[in-house]
Chain A
């Protein structure tokens, strides 16, 4: 019975569900994992790189983290081809706002624009919903550093720390325990990077992965200019260092 309503994105099933939209959300639960963390001095986005073949040319800087504007980035879980359409829209929105008001767009406005666009694909006929979720990270003077998650239905929500993609529920429950453990302080970036790697280690299928499987990004306050942020995607060497530290901690934790 439910099958009759499967093929159309815009028709409710008798149970009041939109199956295609739910399938799109489900598809992302199998995609590469992304972790987002707010830190005391910035914000972290960490994602899993799916290495499909040794022969594939490695990406130059990043394959999942995209700069939207000088104060905003996002990372992708799901179909990268669908995502690139939305990323174009987000960049366009950011620059149009800049053109009109000569100041950077508030983060929530970009998120809202993208989500409205995603929502339209769940309502108008003959179209397939976007098969991707995003983590948006950004800074604006109204609300400081912010982290948002979006999904194919067009819903979005703000978080302190969250996970999207494969095994996101186990990643989230790990974060629930480890982020601000015992009501402790919000981690700083160097602590946050280690935490993000630990989350990815939980969600990834295999253990003992090389640095090429991790894409670590942070955005932090620029010390020279107030209200300005700098972006950094960790190089392979830097990623290796973080991985080693995590490994060391894991080993010594076993001793005690």
Chain B
């Protein structure tokens, strides 16, 4: 019953997720964080059983940390996406991770340096969003969602998303998605937490209690 929503805006990406920790008919918690930070400039929103969420996101995060220590630089967002996809695809035939994810990341430029010189340091850079499911399907998208909520909010995102949105406009679209879920979805999704990733890195926009963070 998890809801993960993500969309790109000019210079970054927003990810929103519900904060319920539920199993069967019982809700255990109303304030868990389903968006985990993988690197300073990448985050992963996950839906699925809580054990797999924690297990998979920590597995990826620790491996990316190891990559950075070994090679001195973090992987690009597309590298992270392909890494997640290949791990999910490999696990599929031997007790899969039951997670469907949205990966959001930010890169300074697709080409960081040319012949040792940095490319345009003033550029807002590129935010990118990837849809990756537990079977190893991966696709770069402008907006996306995971879970039952996709039945309701994809149409909202399709109507309202456009290239070059500001962060405020993107946040407005997310609240429209929440309103639709509140009105039409049988299962109460409660409060949504929102995070962003941009030039400054991953940050909380709205915490798991629904309080806006300045």
Residues of A within 8 A of B (CB): 40, 99-103, 106, 108-109, 141-145, 221, 226-227
Q: Of B76, B78, B86, B116, which contacts A144 at CB under 8 A?
A: B116
Residues of B within 8 A of A (CB): 71, 73, 75-76, 78-79, 82-83, 86, 110-117
Q: How far is the CB of B108 from chain A (nearest CB, A)?
A: 10
Q: Is the CB of A101 within 8 A of B79?
A: yes
Q: Of B71, B83, B86, B113, which contacts A141 at CB under 8 A?
A: B113
- Please, how many angstroms separate the alpha-carbon atoms of A145 and B114 in the complex? 8
Q: Which 3 A-B pairs have the closest CB atoms?
A: A144-B115, A102-B82, A101-B79
- Please, how many angstroms separate the alpha-carbon atoms of A144 and B115 in the complex? 4
Q: Of B78, B83, B113, which contacts A143 at CB under 8 A?
A: B113
Closest residue on chain A to residue B115 by CB atoms: A144
| Known contacts A106-B71, A106-B73: A142-B82 contact under CB 8 Å | no
Q: List 20 A-B contacts (CB under 8 A).
A: A40-B115, A100-B83, A101-B75, A101-B83, A102-B79, A103-B76, A103-B82, A106-B71, A106-B73, A108-B71, A142-B73, A142-B113, A143-B116, A144-B113, A144-B115, A144-B116, A144-B117, A145-B115, A226-B111, A227-B111
Q: How far is the CB of B187 from chain A (nearest CB, A)?
A: 37
Residues in B neighbouring A106, C-beta threshold 8 A: 71, 73
- Please, how many angstroms separate the alpha-carbon atoms of A160 and B54 in the complex? 46
- Please, how many angstroms separate the alpha-carbon atoms of A68 and B115 in the complex? 20
Closest residue on chain B to residue A144 by CB atoms: B115
Closest residue on chain A to residue B72 by CB atoms: A108
- Please, how many angstroms separate the alpha-carbon atoms of A72 and B151 in the complex? 47
Residues in B neighbouring A142, C-beta threshold 8 A: 73, 112-113
Q: How far is the CB of B197 from chain A (nearest CB, A)?
A: 19
Residues in A neighbouring B116, C-beta threshold 8 A: 143-145
User: Knowing that A102-B78, A141-B111 are A-B contacts, what are 13 other residue pairs whose CB atoms are under 8 Å apart, sorted by A's residue number?
Assistant: A100-B82, A100-B83, A102-B79, A102-B82, A103-B76, A103-B79, A103-B82, A106-B71, A141-B113, A144-B115, A221-B114, A226-B111, A227-B111
- Please, how many angstroms separate the alpha-carbon atoms of A142 and B68 in the complex? 13
Q: Is the CB of B78 within 8 A of A103?
A: yes
- Please, how many angstroms separate the alpha-carbon atoms of A143 and B114 in the complex? 7
Q: Is the CB of A109 within 8 A of B83?
A: no
Q: Is the CB of A141 within 8 A of B110?
A: yes
- Please, how many angstroms separate the alpha-carbon atoms of A245 and B27 in the complex? 81
Residues in A neighbouring B78, C-beta threshold 8 A: 101-103
Residues in A neighbouring B83, C-beta threshold 8 A: 100-101
Closest residue on chain A to residue B113 by CB atoms: A144
Closest residue on chain A to residue B117 by CB atoms: A144
Residues in B neighbouring A101, C-beta threshold 8 A: 75, 78-79, 82-83
Q: How far is the CB of B196 from chain A (nearest CB, A)?
A: 25
Residues in B neighbouring A108, C-beta threshold 8 A: 71
- Please, how many angstroms separate the alpha-carbon atoms of A101 and B74 in the complex? 12
- Please, how many angstroms separate the alpha-carbon atoms of A101 and B82 in the complex? 5
Closest residue on chain B to residue A145 by CB atoms: B115
Closest residue on chain A to residue B80 by CB atoms: A101
- Please, how many angstroms separate the alpha-carbon atoms of A159 and B115 in the complex? 13
Q: Of B71, B79, B82, B110, which contacts A227 at CB under 8 A?
A: B110
- Please, how many angstroms separate the alpha-carbon atoms of A102 and B77 in the complex? 11
